[in-house]
Copies of this chain bind each other. A is one copy, B any other.
């Protein structure tokens, strides 16, 4: 179910534009509007799930699908050799700003440790 006030649901519905890099029947990926690396995409499910903390067992395959799409997007961006980092923030305190679950995929530059 789409949440009326959710910006990512609006992207899913095509009501707000996004620089899509992948989409299928369950999910889509698009460029982060505030990129933190040469490649920085977000992968989201079409279904509205507020955060990883709200995901339940029936979402298992969908969550894995998001990770596999992220790997695919990274590969297509030429990051298979140099590597990439996948990040999911859960809760405002961890940096989550849109409450529709999303996996960040970053690569194309040196990624330091710790991850924030």
Contact = CB atoms under 8 A, between A and B. Distances in A.
B68 A55 contact: yes
How many copies the complex holds: the figure is: 2
Nearest to A40: B114
Contact of A83 (B56, B59, B75, B93): B93
Interface in A70-106: 70-71, 74-75, 79-96, 104, 106
Nearest to A37: B114
Nearest to A63: B64
A113 B111 contact: no
A5 interface: no
Interface of A: 36-37, 52-53, 55-57, 59-65, 67-68, 70-71, 74-75, 79-96, 104, 106-107, 110-116
14 contacts: A36-B114, A53-B74, A59-B68, A61-B61, A63-B68, A79-B91, A83-B92, A84-B90, A86-B87, A94-B107, A95-B112, A104-B115, A106-B115, A116-B116
